[in-house]
């Protein structure tokens, strides 16, 4: 894969980034997550450069991603929510209305309250309705309680929605009737924008698909500890912000 200096010289650069744990520290209350100031400054600098695009690629629903990223109608950042099943691009006047299949939507409406009932008595576990599915959060649960909640939700989904895509991440178990992944989201952005080089950064299991799909002219960055397909690892969002700031400086000088 490319190094940072080579990537800075690519004719059309796409900087695509996960949000939680990558641009923002992981928090117990998901909707309280916010991008650290240093990352915001670096991304604003990159987005202002010629032939350079910035995208946030998240498992969050598009509406929630817009809230936590403090995204406005005049933003230069592209958004890919729900692992790429929902998108927004600069210049769009309205958030897109991605109509889901009626049968899947009706099933989701049934499954969310069923899942909530299953975990109602499990302390620290809660269910998040998502645009195309649901997520079980166990960050605040004890290990045995988290295991019980995951087992019971797995059983529910195996019985009621066996064809839905199952994903695991840090203290989350997620199911969706749309099967898009972050690798597809980045590929779609690359094609739309004509990117000749991509930097993708993420911290969790769901980011590995995108990291593995990068090419020789791209750069993958893993945030945090653990094994990864990325060629570069940084300690935390602050370290990633410093790397992005350096990329912005190098690209401005090219």
Phi, psi of 21 (to 5 degrees): 80, -5
**E strand spans, the chain:** 13-17, 52-57, 77-81, 86-88, 126-130, 133-137, 165-169, 172-176, 197-202, 219-223, 232-234
Contacts of range 86-94, beta carbons closer than 8 Å, 24 or more positions apart: 86/61, 86/62, 86/131, 87/62, 87/185, 87/188, 88/62, 89/192
pLDDT at 82: 93
Domain ranges of the chain: 4-97+180-253, 102-176
* Annotated catalytic residue, options 3, 18, 203, 209: 18
pLDDT band per the 50, 70, 90 thresholds, residue 95: low
CATH superfamily, domain 4-97+180-253, is HAD superfamily/HAD-like (3.40.50.1000)
Mean pLDDT taken over the chain? 94
Is residue 64 part of the annotated active site? The answer reads no
**What does the pLDDT look like over 8-21, one tens digit per residue?**
999 999 999 999 99
**Statement: residue 123 has pLDDT above 60:** yes
- The CATH-assigned architecture of domain 102-176 is 2-Layer Sandwich (3.30)
Contacts of residue 123, Cβ cutoff 8 Å, sequence gap at least 6: 140, 141, 142, 145
């Amino acid at each position: 894969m490319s190094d940072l200096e080579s990537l800075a010289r690519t004719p059309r650069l796409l900087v695509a980034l996960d949000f939680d744990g990558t641009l923002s520290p992981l928090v117990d209350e998901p909707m309280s997550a916010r991008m650290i100031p240093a990352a915001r400054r670096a991304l604003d600098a990159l987005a202002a450069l010629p032939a350079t695009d910035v995208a946030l690629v998240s498992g969050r629903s598009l509406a929630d991603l817009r809230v936590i990223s403090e995204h406005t109608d005049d933003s230069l950042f592209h958004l890919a929510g729900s692992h790429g099943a929902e998108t927004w691009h600069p210049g769009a006047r309205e958030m897109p209305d991605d109509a889901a299949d009626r049968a899947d939507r009706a099933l989701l409406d049934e499954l969310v309250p069923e899942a909530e009932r299953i975990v109602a008595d499990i302390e620290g576990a809660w269910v998040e309705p998502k645009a195309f599915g649901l997520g079980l959060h166990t960050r605040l649960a004890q290990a045995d309680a988290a295991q019980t909640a995951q087992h019971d939700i797995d059983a529910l989904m195996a019985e009621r929605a066996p064809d839905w895509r199952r994903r695991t991440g840090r203290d989350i178990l997620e199911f969706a009737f749309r099967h898009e992944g972050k690798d597809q989201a980045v590929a779609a952005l690359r094609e739309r924008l004509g990117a000749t080089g991509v930097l993708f950064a993420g911290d969790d299991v769901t980011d590995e698909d995108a990291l593995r799909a990068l090419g020789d002219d791209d750069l993958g960055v893993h945030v945090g500890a653990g094994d990864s397909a990325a060629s570069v690892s940084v300690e935390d969002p602050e370290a990633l912000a410093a790397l992005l700031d350096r990329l912005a400086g190098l690209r401005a000088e090219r």
